[in-house]
């Protein structure tokens, strides 16, 4: 599958490496432009190329949005995401004037619902936002029973199935937390499943405990 990646930080870069290693073609982009990605693309190999963010969206059958929350308004125009499968890895972290990290107050909404407002025609799936990047980088497994979980949430069942297969392709297991609003809330920072490495069995038990 062709995968466009917006954001070349810890999550975007490591996901690009994993997707390319699994045989997918990736177009990776960031706010600094393709030239800044030459080293990363060289490291990943022939399955990767550096592009602008707009080119990454055009290229991808699926798009991974892995840019900082505060840069969400720099995403390409909404119409470019029409009918695209979008994996949203954003978390609503903000930094105050003293450099302290905190969470944006979204009221009754979630970060992925806010991202969907910027691309209302997208087939958005919340994914890749609950796992620490080092776990993503090193934690994949070929043994299904030992695979760590990447949680997904969304309102499009077919899109979730496709994202789940991509997650399996890179050596992790997908566990569905439900629809975008309630399931997405379960994946927000501070929830019992956020940034906690666990197997499928452990994840299902945890979801049962907090439901």
* Residue 151: predicted pLDDT: 98
Residue with tokens 């990290």: 101
**In angstroms, rounded to a whole number, what is the distance separating the alpha carbons of residues 175 and 150?**
6
For 95-151, write each residue's pLDDT tens digit: 888 888 889 899 999 999 999 999 999 999 999 999 999 999 999 999 988 999 999
Q: Where are the domains of the chain?
A: 2-210
For 63-86, write each residue's pLDDT tens digit: 999 999 999 999 999 999 999 999
Q: Is 49 exposed, middle or buried (0-12, 13-18, 19+ CB in 10 A)?
A: middle
H, E, C per residue of 36-51: HHHHHHHHHCCCEEEC
**Residue of 114, 8, 110 whose CA lies nearest to 56:** 8
- What are the φ and ψ backbone dihedral angles of 74, each rounded to 5 degrees? -95, 5
* Residue 99: predicted pLDDT: 82
**In angstroms, rounded to a whole number, what is the distance separating the alpha carbons of residues 141 and 97?**
41
Helices assigned H by DSSP within the chain: 10-21, 38-44, 53-59, 111-118, 133-138, 157-169, 180-186, 200-210
Computed over every residue of the chain, the mean pLDDT equals 96
* Residue 98: predicted pLDDT: 82
CATH number for the segment(s) 2-210:
3.40.50.720
pTM: 0.95
* Residue 125: predicted pLDDT: 98
**In angstroms, rounded to a whole number, what is the distance separating the alpha carbons of residues 190 and 110?**
13
How much of the chain, in percent, has pLDDT values that exceed 90? 92
* Angle made by CA atoms 2, 76, 93, in degrees to the nearest 5: 95
Which is more confidently placed, 210 or 81? 81
* Residue 166: predicted pLDDT: 98
How far from 183 is each of 58, 188, 192, 201, CA to CA, in Å? 28, 9, 13, 18
**Residue of 158, 91, 150 whose CA lies nearest to 124:** 158
pLDDT band at 92 (very low <50, low <70, confident <90, very high): very high
For 149-197, write each residue's pLDDT tens digit: 999 999 999 999 999 999 999 999 999 999 999 999 999 999 999 999 9
């Amino acid at each position: 599958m062709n995968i466009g990646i917006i954001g070349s930080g810890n999550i975007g870069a490591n996901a690009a490496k994993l997707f390319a290693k699994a045989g997918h073609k990736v177009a990776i982009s960031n706010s600094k432009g393709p030239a800044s990605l030459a080293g990363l693309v060289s490291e990943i190999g022939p399955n990767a190329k550096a592009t602008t963010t707009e080119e990454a969206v055009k290229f991808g059958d699926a798009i991974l949005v892995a840019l900082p929350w505060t840069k969400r308004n720099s995403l390409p125009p909404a119409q470019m995401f029409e009918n695209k499968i979008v994996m949203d890895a954003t978390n609503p972290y903000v930094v105050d004037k003293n450099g302290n990290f905190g969470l944006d107050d979204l009221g009754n909404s979630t970060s992925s619902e806010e991202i969907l407002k910027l691309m209302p025609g997208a087939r958005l799936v919340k994914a890749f936002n609950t796992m620490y990047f080092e776990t993503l980088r090193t934690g994949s497994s070929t043994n299904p029973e030992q695979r760590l979980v990447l949680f997904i949430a969304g309102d499009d069942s077919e899109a979730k199935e496709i994202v789940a297969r991509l997650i399996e392709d890179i050596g992790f297991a997908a566990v569905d937390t439900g629809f975008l609003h309630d399931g997405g809330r379960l994946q927000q920072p501070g929830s019992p499943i956020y940034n906690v490495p666990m197997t499928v069995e452990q994840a299902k038990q945890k979801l049962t405990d907090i439901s």
